Structure 1
Amino acid sequence: MADIVPGGQDRPVGLRDVLAGALAAVVDGGGRLPLGRPERVLVVLVDGLGAQALAARSGHARTLAAALGKRSRIATGCPTTTASALTTLATGTDPGQHGIIGYSVLDPAQDRVVNQLHGFDDGGLPEGWQRSPTLFQRAVDEGVRAFATGPRHYAESGFTAAVLRGAEYLGARTIEHRFDAAFDAFAEGGRTIGYCYVPELDQVAHREGWSSGAWTNELEGLDAVVAAAASRLRPGERMLVTADHGILDVPGAQQVLVDEIPGLLDPVRHLAGEPRLLQLHLDDPGDATAVAERWRSALGRIADVRTRAEAIDAGWFGTVDPAVEPRIGDVLVAARSRAAFYDGRTGAGRGMVGQHGAWTDEERLVPLLTF
């Protein structure tokens, strides 16, 4: 797992620039994306569509693959997990600023680990936990209409409220109907930015793996919908297709049960993060250096193990606000190989085939395709 050094305007375009660039183009023709000055831009986020997986299945996704070149691959943020990446896209800020720094994260005030996708719904996360204003709010302030379309059952979720603040939510059951809703909004005219969320590919990958026939079939269906949508674009309209993360398949034989390695979990008070990027919160944070060395010795080359300070210095979460720092594990364990780390005493999540969270090229590189 490489160091991720945040930069200024000279840094490569990343996921945090996509919706921000769309809005800037609509407002005044600015931003970091070469879009000109369109009236309307639709940003389509396909959950789990890694650039490498798309290239490997290019014959099954001719519309998407035809737009995929060396300059149309960008890096998502760290960790490569949906809650963090969607928030980065929607706010234009890194996880170290917006505070959604993993799939499950320690709330220091309550001393408990909370799921970042569902924890907003049961009162488990305080108001203001997602710390950054959204680009949808900024759009409304600029007189630009902002909408988001996704599955109907996400319309009332706490995560939607926290991450899509300012956007009109247009719920639709199928991928086709979401695009219909987006183009109906475009047909009303005026300056507009839209966001369309497609979770189906990721769901199939978790269940059966991205290398499965089911995943390829889902990709073929998506490609057909994108091709039809591209044909509906009128002058002054653009469509961007990107993803929150890529994915790789982890065989059951490469699951590592950390509870079976003597002494590894003894100093751990809370285990957070995801199987490919564990975040360890210790009984005594002062032991972080010694614990990190113990995990390095036990796991060897299959993991990049760093203390919180080392990970922050390496830029894993971008610039980290002091208020966010306690949410990050005292020690972080990122998978380098096709491994996933579990506490076998719980068994949670061990049925997943396709996985993500760490910083391999399969997970971090995603397409940015312009139509």
Structure 2
Amino acid sequence: MTFDDGLHPDALRTVAPAYGTGSLADLLPSVCAVLNVPGAEDVLGLGARLDGITKVAVLLVDGMGAYQLPLMAPLAPVLADLAAGGRGHAGTLTAGFPSTTPVSLVTLGAGVPPGEHGILGFTVRRPDGGVLTHISWGDDPDPRLWQPVPTWMERASAAGVAVSVVSRPAFEGSGLSLAANRGGVYIGAADGPAVAAGMLAALRAATGPALVYGYHPDLDHYGHEDGVGSPTWQEAARGVDRLLDELAHGLPPGAALLVVADHGQLNVPAEGRLDMATTPALADGVTGAAGEPRVRYLHTAPGARDGVLETWRALSDSLVLSRDQVIDEGWFGPVPAAHADRIGDVVIICRGRELALATGWEPEKVGRLVAYHGSVTAAEMTVPLLIVR
């Protein structure tokens, strides 16, 4: 069953990442400028809104795109009030590209566009030809080499700011955590109430400037599994509201809360799922597939790239670009040569309610999810920025 995800037709328009003016990459540099971290620039103009603030909590709610807020509002009165500006400032940012969790988490933590930090997809090709899945990444490749940019948590800690990361215990020490959040004291939190308790305790314990980052994944999880708008998703939305209620009403003096997301989601019906396993022509000339269903990376045999481009353009409604084209158009920001091979020779960017599945190259369960993200629609790219003093 596909539930109504409440999206306005406007949510399917294309949105480009606003690197340098209003993206996730600009948030922590702006926060750190408020906290007087050397080298930080307040691109977002947070100083005026956070005047007198010495402790900043940043909560990332996975999957809570700006276009999900109207559907959440009847279930989440605290969130609805914050989104309306009832207790502070409400605005939006863009995710980076692709609009997927590992890319966004590192874009936020490193404070640079994806091309620079090198986490360029949910899965990407490794130098040995294998595929790296960033959410199950350990220490191979070395996270500090694969993602070489210092995080703003490292920079803030070096400047004397008390930095804490509050997230699931299982994520401590993972490759993705080190790529995105190295530099902070890790506090394990198994659920929403524990995230709230851990973040508030870290804020209260700090005797000087503090940066506390929290991560809450439930909304995204139930969107994927059951669909945006499903009963389990609705209960997860209520859980987000309870978390926000605890944080907003528990902030100590001199502290502010910033609430963001890594991406939005949209439900994809069965008729929108194009699979290389059931349309063999789509696999002609392809030697490997990575990325994810909404932004697919195809690696091609020598001399086969142009044929793959032609076939996909004929058989799909997606935007089909070569690696050079997608880099030149600026979707990733600047991409150094060391990171370019992580992108496919051909990039499939889904524009409507479509998927580019690669069953056989990835687990079958990937094609059985209900809601997805990763591409360039407003629903996926636009995330809220809520500020509570």
Residue identity in the other structure for 1:218: A
Verify: 1:43 aligned to 2:63, yes or no. no
SS in 1 for 2:338: coil
Cross-structure match for 2:25:
16
Residue identity in the other structure for 2:109: A
d(CA) in 1 for partners of 2:243 and 2:143? 38
Cross-structure match for 2:109:
90
% identity of equivalent residues: 33
Residue identity in the other structure for 2:228: W
Aligned ranges for residues 201-240 of structure 1 at < 5 Å? 201-240=219-258
Cross-structure match for 1:80:
99
Cross-structure match for 2:167:
150
TM superposition score normalised by structure 1: 0.92
Residue identity in the other structure for 2:175: G
Verify: 1:26 aligned to 2:45, yes or no. no
Cross-structure match for 2:324:
309
Cross-structure match for 1:159:
176
d(CA) in 1 for partners of 2:143 and 2:119? 13
Which sits farther off after the overlay, 259-268 or 318-327? 259-268
Task: Pick one of 130, 134, 138 that aligns with 2:147.
Answer: 130
d(CA) in 1 for partners of 2:144 and 2:200? 33
8 Å Cα contact 2:297-2:344 kept in structure 1 = yes
Residue identity in the other structure for 1:337: G
Verify: 1:117 aligned to 2:135, yes or no. yes
Task: Pick one of 260, 266, 289 that aligns with 1:242.
Answer: 260
Verify: 1:101 aligned to 2:123, yes or no. no
Q: 1:231 to 1:355 in 2, by over 3 A?
A: same
Which sits farther off after the overlay, 252-261 or 274-283? 252-261
TM superposition score normalised by structure 2: 0.88
Q: 1:229 to 1:127 in 2, by over 3 A?
A: closer
| Deviation for aligned residue 1:66 | 2.2
Q: 1:5 to 1:15 in 2, by over 3 A?
A: closer
Task: Point out where structure 2 has 5 or more consecutive residues left out of the alignment.
Answer: 1-12
Task: Pick one of 335, 340, 347 that aligns with 1:332.
Answer: 347
Please list every run of at least 4 consecutive aligned residues from structure 1 whose deviation after the TM superposition is greater than 6 angstroms: none
Verify: 1:270 aligned to 2:270, yes or no. no
Which sits farther off after the overlay, 195-204 or 160-169? 160-169
d(CA) in 2 for partners of 1:92 and 1:112? 28
Residue identity in the other structure for 1:59: P
8 Å Cα contact 2:290-2:296 kept in structure 1 = yes
Q: 1:68 to 1:3 in 2, by over 3 A?
A: closer
Cross-structure match for 2:6:
none
Cross-structure match for 2:5:
none
Task: Point out where structure 1 has 5 or more consecutive residues left out of the alignment.
Answer: none
d(CA) in 1 for partners of 2:125 and 2:41? 38
List per-residue Cα deviations over 1:303-332 (Å, max 9, x = no partner): 111111111111111111121111111110
| Deviation for aligned residue 1:350 | 1.8
Residue identity in the other structure for 2:233: W
Which sits farther off after the overlay, 361-370 or 216-225? 216-225
What RMSD in Å do the two structures reach over aligned CA positions? Answer: 2.0
d(CA) in 2 for partners of 1:358 and 1:169? 31
8 Å Cα contact 1:312-1:318 kept in structure 2 = yes
SS in 2 for 1:245: coil
Task: Pick one of 300, 305, 320 that aligns with 1:282.
Answer: 300
Task: Pick one of 3, 16, 24 that aligns with 1:4.
Answer: 16
SS in 1 for 2:312: helix
Task: Pick one of 257, 271, 274 that aligns with 2:275.
Answer: 257
8 Å Cα contact 2:143-2:178 kept in structure 1 = no
d(CA) in 1 for partners of 2:18 and 2:384? 20
Q: 1:88 to 1:37 in 2, by over 3 A?
A: farther
Cross-structure match for 2:204:
187
Residue identity in the other structure for 1:181: G
8 Å Cα contact 1:114-1:125 kept in structure 2 = no
Aligned residues: 363
d(CA) in 1 for partners of 2:378 and 2:110? 24
